[in-house]
Amino acid sequence: MSQSRKILARHAGRESLKPGELVEASVDLVLANDITAPLAIEEFEKLGRGKVFDTGKVVLVLDHFTPNRDIASAEQCAFVRRFARQYSVEHFYDGGEVGIEHVLLPEEGLIAPGSLVIGADSHTCTYGALGAFATGMGSTDVGAAMATGKAWFRAPEAIKVNVTGKLRPWSGGKDVILYLIGRLGVDGATYHSLEFVGDGIADISVDGRLTAANMAIEAGAKNGIFGVDLQAVEYLASVGVAAEEQALEPDEYGYTSELDIDLDVLEPQVALPHLPSNAVPVGEAPKVKLDQSVIGSCTNGRMEDMRLAAEVLRGRKVATGVRLIIIPGSPRVYRKSMEEGLFDIYLDAGAVISPPTCGPCLGGHMGILAAGERAISTTNRNFTGRMGHRESEVYLSNPAVAAASAVTGTITDPGELS
């Protein structure tokens, strides 16, 4: 049985689950944001329960259109604030406490190995990096879970991803997942769990694993998950979560297929418009003229990403005609970046620094593209119109490539900068 199904079985009170079985399971955490929470709250109210199932297990994060971009987003946030106060939601994040939800929750110590987490956001699968079964759901299901603490699941089939070798300079978790999506396609893992195993995992940081798990959904996967090794245990301890090492060890009803990734030969990847699966090595990407570079998001807004961008930008200037927008993913990342002097490097290079927000990733604000403009971005999706006008283009990359490309004005391998 795969690790994902083991977790589901445990929360459903079952000894085992076969792929395709439907079960009702108790959840450990229910998440929604300023876009998805209002609908979930409306569904919750229809049930007439009068209280959330556990005030400490409902999490509300106002991160998508905040600071509010317009009246409509302000009204949405006000609606969620009223609900959080009325029902005494303990984990409500707003204003100076808000971060991009999938950067924020692990930092807040809300994710534990073996837990079952659902969220009204497709990138909830991020938390699989810490050994949790985490997946996105619609707002209706999340509203019901807020009231009952339960949700229905179909036990997923599993794909084993064997990771070997050591990362090359300038490659990281983003390149692992872009390469994998390129192999699988955007629907190649539909309703499967992607389970990452192998000696190469030790060379991928926890930040990198969070990035890789985050984009499991871009291959259609139900979730992505890693075992819990010493790195993960130490990370969890740093945020107040006690955990023991636990490898992914399937038994009966294990994996339906396997894929191999050799880090020794993995180059930085770039996903060309308009699909994350259009991944090619950075050296094969077209040398298009860029108008914007975005470094941040729930995919690459962590400290490792901020430091990597600064390493490339140090002593360099952004190319004329390119707008570089840097978005630390949480208040902790923002403060730590400032304390380490990274903001000075960004500002000296000519970048704009945003408060923590999803912003341009979903075409919200803080960096919308006009017709004909091209951006390279560390975000997770580059669908038509994703970051603005339908006639704009988005190329996806890791932070080092995005920073190097901002410096040259075209898509660039950071190793080529002199």
Q: What is the pLDDT of residues 2-58, one digit of tens each?
A: 889 999 999 999 999 999 999 999 999 999 999 999 999 999 999 999 999 999 999
Residue reference for tokens 């690790």: 3
Nearest C-alpha neighbor of 65 from the set 32, 103, 34: 34
**Cis amide prior to 123 (ω within 30 degrees):** no
Choose among 150, 147, 161, 142: nearest CA to 8: 150
pLDDT band at 252 (very low <50, low <70, confident <90, very high): low
What is the predicted pLDDT for the residue at 247? 79
- pLDDT value at 222 more than 80: yes
pLDDT for the residue 117? 98
**pLDDT, tens only, 254-310:** 788 999 999 999 999 999 999 999 999 999 999 999 999 999 999 999 999 999 999
- Strand order of the sheet with strand 292-296? 279-281, 269-271, 393-396, 374-377, 292-296, 323-327, 352-353
CA dist list (Å): 100 to 47, 144, 355: 29, 24, 10
Topology of the domain comprising 272-416: Aconitase; domain 3 (3.30.499)
pLDDT value, residue 151: 97
Question: What percentage of the chain carries pLDDT values higher than 90?
Answer: 94
Query: Are 95 and 80 a contacting pair, CB within 8 Å?
Result: no
What's the whole-number mean pLDDT along residues 317-338? 98
Whether 418 shows a pLDDT value over 90: the answer reads no
φ and ψ at residue 216, rounded to 5 degrees: -55, -35
- 154-to-12, 193, 199, 332 alpha-carbon distances in Å: 11, 11, 30, 36
Average pLDDT score over the chain:
96
Q: 110-127 pLDDT, tens per residue? A: 999 999 999 999 999 999
Give the model's pLDDT for residue 182: 96
Report CA 314 to chain centroid distance, whole Å.
Answer: 26
C-alpha torsion angle, residues 137, 140, 142, 148 (rounded to 10): -140
Would you place residue 249 in the very low, low, confident or very high pLDDT band (cuts 50, 70, 90)? confident
pLDDT of the residue at 28: 98
CATH 3.30.499.10 in the chain, residues? Answer: 3-264, 272-416
Q: What's at 188, amino acid-wise?
A: G
Confidence category of residue 250, pLDDT binned at 50, 70, 90: confident
What is the per-residue pLDDT for 2? 87
Res 272: pLDDT? 98
Please check whether residue 237 is in contact with residue 243, taking contact to mean a CB–CB distance below 8 angstroms.
yes
- Determine whether domain 3-264 maps to CATH 3.40.50.300: no
